[in-house]
Structure formats: C-alpha cells, structure tokens
Structure 1
Amino acid sequence: MAGSTEGSEKTQSKSGAKTTAKQGDKPAAKSTVNQPQLGFIGMCRWAWTQLTTMRVALILLLILALAAIPGSLLPQRIQDPGRVNTFLENNGAWGQFLDTIQMFDVYSSVWFSAIYLLLMISLVGCIIPRTKQHWKAMRSSPPKAPRRLSRMPGYAAFTSAQADAETREDADEAFLDAAEARLKKSGYRINRQSDHIAAERGYLRETGNLVFHIALLMATLTMAIGSLFGYEGQRILVEGETFSNSLVSYDSFEPGSYYDADNLPDFRLKLDSFTSTFDDQAAGNQFGQPRTFDAQVTTTADGTTESHLLKVNEPVRVGGVGVYLTGNGYAPEVTVRDAKGDIVQSGPQVFIPDGGDPGYTSEGVIKVPDSAGTQMGFVGVFLPTAAQNEDGELISSFAELRNPYLVMSGYTGDLGLDSGVPQSVYSLDAENMTEMTDESGNPLVIQLAEGDTQKLPNGGSVTFDGVKKYIAVDISQDPTQALMLISAILVLAGLGLSLFIPRRRVWVRIKNGDAEVAALARGEDPMVERAVDGLVKDLRDPEPDEGQHGDDDER
C-alpha cells in the first residue's frame, strides 16, 4: 500500500510539473487554413457544370426570346431595306448607333448567334446525362417500401378482410394479388416483395421532358441548316407587274452559305390587284386600324398558270418556294416632261409608308437622269387622304385613297448615278444638286391633286396621273420545313407529357390483415391523396365490420 501511495504521489507531482510547464509556455500561434485554389481547369469545369444545367438552358432560352424582340420592333435589312434606310435618315446618330450594334440585322448578328450557340451547347450537355440517368431509372425496379409509410404525403391504414388463423397468410397474399392487379391496371410498374408491393408510374413525364428538349435542339439545328442550304429574297411588286424568279429580279437576295444561286426554280409571279381595308367606324385608337390585306396574284410554273389569293400569314407556294406578304403601300403615277415637252420619266413610283403614321403618310424619291440638259430629282410626300390639322399643316387623316395628294420639292444637277457608289432608290443625294425655286426665289413646292400638272422653272412639267398599290413580298426556299414541322409537333407533345403526366410512387403493405397504403409524388402532384383514397376504396373489405374494426379504419 505504501508503495502504491508513493507511486501515485510521484505521478501526481510529475503531472503537476508538466502542467505548470505548459501553463508557463507562450501560447502557440493560430494555425492558418490553406484554401484550395480553383485554377483555370477547375474554373472551366465549374463553368461547364453551370452551362449544362437545365436552369441555365431555360435562362438562355428566355434570353434568346428577349433578344429576338428588336427584330420584331425594328425594320430588318433582310426583309425591308427601304424602311431601314428611312429609319437611319430620320433618326441620325441614334439610328447609326443601332446600326452599329446590329439592331437592323438581329438574326445574323454576332450577339444573337452567340446566344444561339450557347443554347445549343447547353441543351446537348444537359440532355445527354439526363438521358442516361432516365434510361437507368426505366430499367431499374421501383424502390422498396420505407420503414415508416406514415410519413408520406399520401397515407392511409385500414384492416383488410379477416380470415381464420390458418389461412391468414393466404389472405394477405390474396390482398397483395388484388393490389398488384389494381396497380398494373393503372399503369404502374410493380416490384413484389414478401410483405408489400412497390409501384411507380409516370416515367413518361421525364420522357416528355427529354423529348421537349431534344425537339427544341432539333428545331434550332433545323433553322441553322435551313439558313445554310436555303435562300431568302425580297421584291416590291406594283399592280400589273410580273416578277421572274432570277437573281437580277430581286431587290435584295440573301443566299445560304451552301446555296447555289444558279439553281433558282423557274416561275413567274404577277400582281393582278391588291385590296386593303381599314376600320373607319371604331372610335379611339382602333380608328384607322388595318383589317384586311388581300393580294390577287397569278403564278406560272412548269407551264401551268394558277390564280391565288395572297394574305398575311397565308403564303403562296410555287416551284417549291414560299411567297409571303410582308408589306404594302402606294405608288403615285407621275409623268415628268422636259422643256421640249418630251416625256423623260413616267410610271408608278414606290413611296415608303411612315411606320408610325396610321394615315399611311409615305415618302419617296423620283430620279430623272435622262432629262435634256441636266438631271432632275424630286423628294416628295404622298398623302392618301389629305387634310389639314389644327395648325394648318397637311396630314393624311386616313389610310385609304379618299383624297390623294402629292407634295414634292425639286432639284437639278448631278444625281451621282455615274460615280460608281451604290445608291438607294428611296433616297436622294442632293449634295451636288441645286434646289428649284419659284419666281420669288423661294424653294419650289410642288402640290398636286390627282390629275393636276405643275410647271417647272426650267420649262418642264410634272403631272400626277393617279395611284397604284404595291406589295412587298418575301420569297424564300427552306428545305427543312418538314423537319421543322416535326420538331414543333414533338415540342408540343413533349411539353404536354411533362406537364400533365404525374410521376408517382405507391407502396402497399400488409401484415396480419393490417394494411397500409402510401404514395409519394416526384414533383408537383396535387392528386396524391386522392390516388391513395381511390386505391384504398378498391382494396378495402366491401362489407367491413364497423363495430369491430372502427379504430383501425380511422388509422
């Protein structure tokens, strides 16, 4: 005992010494935590992971839809180069800024193409792993029942039909057989265990989701392929004119990168007449709104001549090409004579409507390069229904031809047509020209009603003979239209499956006659509880002993 005591004392003394020594030491410095550095490769992996998520794919799809809005609000060169030039002339620096950031070539711009490309990469990176995961899920069995089914959002417990003790196991098996048959009839996949059944349905929901995204990717690729192997062109047709499908006949032509312009299909298109109606009965902002645009055209292809009615969003198909109605306006018929009385310019002149004016006030240019002695040019405004506002200014009060009136200014000099620099037929470069003046030296204002003639200072004259109508058509050939239709159908089908088919798991367990039914939704499914109630109703004893098993029914 004495030895033990001495040993313990020595031990205590040594421990005390160590403790004292530790207490007297200086506190150790805090250890620093080295954070792992992501690095360039890690940053690339993180960016790829983010890009290939479904959330980013949906965000890019939304951004692409928003990026397409300027293409609907602003005129596009590929559709109407004349309106683009008019917009640039009327808006100065603001128009030049919009042109710099490619707002008049939205669908071929660098930024739109970048969003388009990122969306395709995101869809591919998102679809492939989800397809693999879904394939594994479809081949695997539904998961076994968890221990506590009462935690599920849909749950019910009851007592099944009771049998003698010797046949209770048979009764439980019969109960599971009935549950299996009921679930299979409802389209569930079954995983039968000794004491329960695990079932799952709604795999088509994820299938529809994948079909939707694959079809969306297919649609974007189809549009890209169509732009490579097709073409698109624009042409303005005045009433009575005939268009022959050749390269020189287009006002503008945009072939795909791999399209051979020498293989244009052979056909002709004639505009017989054009009719437009506008609302003159409604009040407020609806007054003057367009109601119908109908163009009667005649097509000739492969020796066959047919008559068609061309409308907005109702194209005419001829020679494998679609002809779309994209615009319309008025073309005043003007005759210009020189000092000798010879006609130097005659015929309809296309005037471009001001897009913001419901009265169809239109602007145009008449160039007369063949006049005797000097060239002439006229800049004018056409008013379909001329009237005066409160300030006494001339305006067009309605879009239809009820009081046509033409107001122009004249110039003489060099039109610049021989300079070799391309010019727009809808604008006049008056830098090397002199404005015509009247006898008082004031700028000459030419005002003509239909049938009027006004003398010019050089001895010539201008006559306003009448008005014809014109249409702007978009002529395009897209070899991928059938594939685009299939893609659109698949998009709608996949979206319908993903929205209206619920993904649901159901478990049915029984032991000694005590049955439990539970259901779990994979996503939003407000019908979970109703599905459990319906299954319980089918499996419950049709004539239960309420006095004996009332408590069990309440469970």
Structure 2
Amino acid sequence: MSKNKSGIWSFFSSVKLAIVFLSLIAFFALIGTLVPQREAAGALAERISPALFSFLQQMQVFDLYHSVWFFLLSGLLAVNLMICSVDRFPLAWRRFRIRPAPQNENAFKYLPEKNTFKIRADIHQAADTAVALLRKHYGDVARADEDGSVFLCSGKGRFSLFGVYIVHLSILLLIAGAIIGSVFGVEGYVNITEGEEVSAIHLRDNHQALPLPFSVRCDRFIVEFYENGAPKTFQSDLVFLKNGKMLQSGKLRVNHPIEVEGFRFYQASYGAAPGGKATLALRRDGGGRDVMNVSAGYIFELPGKEGTFQVLRVEENLMKMGPAVKVAVRSAGKEEAVFWVFQQIDQIRKISPDIFEQVPVFNPGLFRPYTFVLLGLEEKYYTGLQVNRDPGTPLVAVAALFLIGGLMLILFFYARQVWIRMDQEKDQLHIRIAGQSYKNKAGLEREVQYLLCELKDNLERSK
C-alpha cells in the first residue's frame, strides 16, 4: 500500500506532468477560441452534418469552459501543483533559514585570480571597511576573526526562493476562482425598450427568469450609423433603482460595462422595438385630409364618424418593402376591411402596377371614402444587455496579484551569498571574494567583480 502511495505521489510530483496538463489546457483553450461556443455554435450546425454536430455537442466541444474535461484537467493540475509544492517546499524552507558560517573553505576553492587582490592595509581597518560595504549592499554581516585572518559573510534575496510557490498558489487561486464563477456565477441577458423598466433577466442556459435585487430603466438609446448603414456606435442611458430610489445611473457603451451590486452590465445588441407609433393621414375622396398619431392596438374613430379603425400591427420593414401598418376598419352595415398601408406604396406600384388587383389587402383605399397614407414611423429601439455576476472575480483578482508578485521574485530577484576572506601575509593583505547562488551565475559574477572593485577603491582612498 505504501509503495502504491509512493508511486502516486511521485507521479503527481513531476514537473513534466504539470507541463503536460498546462499544454492540454492550452489546447482546449485554443479549441474554445476557434470553435464557436454556446449560442454561436448554432451557425456551425448549418455547415456540418447533424451526426457530427450531435457528437461534438455530447463531447461538450461547444461549451468547453464549462465542460467536464476542462474541470477535470483544472483539478488534476491543482493536485499536481499542490503535491509539487509540498514535495519541494521543505528544501526551500531549509535554504531560507540557513545562515552560512563566515568560515567556508569550500567557497574559496578553485577561486579565479580575478576575484583576489593584494594591498598594503591594516587588516582590522580593512575588515571594518568591508563590513560597511557589505551592510550597504546586503544588510546583516556575519564576522569571524582568527589569528591573522578575518572572515565575513553576507547575502540577500532569500525570499525569492518562495517565488515559484507563490506562482503555484496564484494558479490554484485562479483555478478556484474560475470554478466558483462557473458553478455559482450568473450569465443572462435582457432587452429593455426605451422608457421601460425591468427587474429580472433571462438566464443564458435555461432561459428562466432571474429576479434582480433592483430594477433597470432605459431612459434613452442612441445609435449612430456609417454612410453604408452599418452601426457606428450605440449607447444606453440606464438608471438603476431600488425601493423607488436611484442607486446609480450611467451611460452604457460597448466595452464600457457598468457594475451594480455585483452584477455587471454589458452593451451587447439593439433592435427596433415592435409596436411603435405611426403617423397616418386619412384622405377623403371629396378632399380634406386628417393626420393622426396612432399606436398598435388602440381603436380610433374615423373623422367622418363612419366607424372606427384600429392599427393591428406596426412593421419597420414588411417583406422588405419598407415600413407598413396593418389597419382594420369597422363600420355599421359594412363588412370589416383589413388591409396594409405601406409608406412607399407609390414606388411599389411603379414596380408592380397591378399590385392592388393581385393583392387587394395592399390597397390603402379599400375602405371608401378614405385612402390611408403612412407618413412615417416613430423609431423606437430596445437595448440588448448582457448581464453577468461572477463571485469568483475577487479570487481571480487576488490570484493575478500573487502571480505578478511571484513572477517578479523569480525573474528579478535571486538568493545569493557573498564571502570575503582577508589574510595578513607579511606586509600585504590578501583579500579574496567568493559568491554562491542557485541561479543567475553570470549576474552573481558581475556583482562580485563590482564589489571587489568598490572595496579595493575604498581601501586605496583610506590610505
């Protein structure tokens, strides 16, 4: 049993295994980037066979970041990082706590000549100068005096030994934050017509309504277009209310979300709101014209008291023939007349002169003595908002800070020790400087040479 545990422990404590897991996660992320995800996958269904689409759907390829595969790989990577950290941390802790002795013969073995120099100086005065120099660059200094010799030792950067473990912790926090957000987070959407107020959103997965702890009102929606008709920019003026009082207000634009009580609102889409207002002119055969602003569903009296008419539908672009309204006219003793009134009826008749004979319901003069004329529609838009709440965001933010800190410790700091040995040889003082580090040997060598030159210069000036 212990052998099995030892084998499993050794397997998960492998750095190569961590690289494999990271590579697999990166591969899945690449697929998730290239393959349309969730609702966007519907467009792909039209280009591939139904059997292949069904297979990919069952394998959760269209929702990779919420798939079992992604969670499984993230969990295995977390286990791998924890075991690697537990397995190697005791060695890093021992290296952090160790305080090397000033007398270290091994540090001066095979020392190159460029790391030594001789000078005429008093050994005690030279030792004090070296101690001051080491304290300036490294901090605490350990000193040992023997007959005719002085040994000094100092170092810094020991905290960088924990850089890799801080990075491990940041990745674990990142995985935890991503899982919390995926499991307990909210992704939804809502459409709000100008002037209207909503207090619930529709969930993205099951389209169920989720009540909000506040209400959202769209006071105004603005859209600007390029000359070719493509939208240039669009903006929603939103007001957030709670218990009848305004919580917050702001202008919502693309890539400029608004956050309220943990819910983040994004400007996602827009469209023409159905059932808007229309301006109709009613012309009578004998002359005269009445202009009326009408709305879908309402009943209006004809100007001559012959009956009533009702706007049944308001369409922005019916059958790609432009704006149109559907009208029903009712009068005592006459059959109800239902017909469409197109704003561009003159252009339509130029293209198809016999349109009234072919499609009588397109004749705006179907009820005599009136001819209905559509002067225009009042443009009214709805704003489409994407609404997210991710409880894992604070954890991800903390993970990002830990990741930056850990990488800075790894990349810009390193642990090193420096020894200085001074031996009195007749009328000269023999000084040797050695260094030791677990990485960045070239940087340590430059540091030792700089220290040697600075010490030599200070001793020369103190004569």
TM-score between both structures, scaled by the size of structure 1: 0.57
Give deviations 1:265-314, integer Å, cap 9, x for gaps: 4212233444456777xxxxxx9998755332222223223431123343
Distance 1:272 1:521, change over 3 A: same
Q: Which residue of 2 aligns with 1:210?
A: 165
Counterpart amino acid of residue 271 in structure 1? C
Q: Which residue of 2 aligns with 1:156?
A: 115
Distance 1:456 1:216, change over 3 A: farther
Q: Which residue of 1 aligns with 2:266?
A: 324
Deviation at 1:177, TM superposition (A): 3.9
Distance 1:139 1:460 in 2: 92
Match of 1:539 among 438, 455, 461: 455
Q: Which residue of 1 aligns with 2:215?
A: 268
Structure 1 SS opposite 2:249: strand
Distance 1:271 1:200 in 2: 63
Distance 1:522 1:289 in 2: 60
Q: Which residue of 1 aligns with 2:204?
A: 252
Match of 1:182 among 108, 133, 150: 133
Is the CA contact 2:240–2:249 (under 8 Å) kept in the aligned structure 1? Answer: yes
Match of 1:498 among 407, 410, 419: 410
Distance 2:113 2:164 in 1: 25
Distance 1:154 1:520, change over 3 A: farther
Equivalent residues in 2 for 1:77-96, closer than 5 Å:
77=38, 81=39, 83-93=40-50, 95-96=53-54
Q: Which residue of 1 aligns with 2:88?
A: 130
Match of 2:70 among 112, 136, 139: 112
Distance 1:479 1:542, change over 3 A: closer
Is the CA contact 1:267–1:300 (under 8 Å) kept in the aligned structure 2? Answer: yes
Q: How many residues align?
A: 386
Give deviations 1:477-509, integer Å, cap 9, x for gaps: 333433332222222122222211132222212
Give deviations 1:346-386, integer Å, cap 9, x for gaps: 5689xxxxxxxxxxxxxxxxxxxxxxxxxxxx9x8x8xxxx
TM-score between both structures, scaled by the size of structure 2: 0.67
Equivalent residues in 2 for 1:38-437, closer than 5 Å:
45-46=6-7, 48-77=9-38, 81=39, 83-93=40-50, 95-142=53-100, 145-147=104-106, 149=108, 151=110, 156-163=115-122, 171=123, 173-187=124-138, 190-194=141-145, 195-245=150-200, 249-250=201-202, 252=204, 264-275=211-222, 292-305=233-246, 306-325=248-267, 327-331=268-272, 333=274, 346=314
Structure 1 SS opposite 2:406: helix
Q: Which residue of 1 aligns with 2:431?
A: 515
Structure 2 SS opposite 1:486: helix
Distance 1:52 1:324, change over 3 A: farther
Deviation at 1:92, TM superposition (A): 4.0
Distance 1:537 1:251, change over 3 A: closer
Counterpart amino acid of residue 385 in structure 2? V
Is the CA contact 1:155–1:519 (under 8 Å) kept in the aligned structure 2? Answer: no
Distance 2:167 2:55 in 1: 38
Report sequence identity in percent: 24
Distance 1:332 1:523, change over 3 A: same
| Greater Cα offset, 190-199 or 504-513 | 190-199
Structure 2 unaligned blocks of 5 or more? 277-295, 298-308, 324-341, 349-354, 364-373
Is the CA contact 1:270–1:297 (under 8 Å) kept in the aligned structure 2? Answer: yes
Distance 2:49 2:343 in 1: 32
Counterpart amino acid of residue 84 in structure 2? C
Is the CA contact 1:240–1:272 (under 8 Å) kept in the aligned structure 2? Answer: yes
2:445 matches 1:487: no
Distance 1:219 1:120 in 2: 10
Deviation at 1:150, TM superposition (A): 6.5
Structure 1 SS opposite 2:115: strand
Deviation at 1:517, TM superposition (A): 1.0
Deviation at 1:471, TM superposition (A): 4.4
Deviation at 1:332, TM superposition (A): 7.4
| Greater Cα offset, 262-271 or 492-501 | 262-271
Distance 1:262 1:293 in 2: 26
Distance 2:43 2:343 in 1: 25
Deviation at 1:73, TM superposition (A): 4.1
Deviation at 1:152, TM superposition (A): 6.0
Structure 2 SS opposite 1:250: strand
Q: Which has the higher strand share?
A: 2
Deviation at 1:217, TM superposition (A): 1.1
Is the CA contact 1:153–1:528 (under 8 Å) kept in the aligned structure 2? Answer: no
Distance 1:309 1:484 in 2: 27
Distance 2:221 2:440 in 1: 53
Distance 2:187 2:362 in 1: 41
Is the CA contact 1:75–1:84 (under 8 Å) kept in the aligned structure 2? Answer: yes
Structure 1 unaligned blocks of 5 or more? 1-39, 164-170, 256-260, 281-286, 350-377, 383-403, 407-447, 546-555
Give deviations 1:405-452, integer Å, cap 9, x for gaps: 79xxxxxxxxxxxxxxxxxxxxxxxxxxxxxxxxxxxxxxxxx99889
Q: Which residue of 2 aligns with 1:552?
A: none
Distance 1:231 1:534, change over 3 A: same
Distance 1:155 1:519, change over 3 A: farther
Distance 1:222 1:520 in 2: 40
Distance 1:319 1:330 in 2: 27
Distance 1:176 1:544 in 2: 14
Deviation at 1:237, TM superposition (A): 3.9
Is the CA contact 2:13–2:87 (under 8 Å) kept in the aligned structure 1? Answer: no
Distance 2:59 2:344 in 1: 43
Deviation at 1:91, TM superposition (A): 4.0
Deviation at 1:536, TM superposition (A): 1.3
Deviation at 1:111, TM superposition (A): 1.2
Distance 1:262 1:121 in 2: 37
Give deviations 1:202-236, integer Å, cap 9, x for gaps: 11222233222212212221332344444332234
Distance 1:217 1:146, change over 3 A: farther
Q: CA RMSD in A?
A: 4.5
Is the CA contact 2:188–2:387 (under 8 Å) kept in the aligned structure 1? Answer: yes
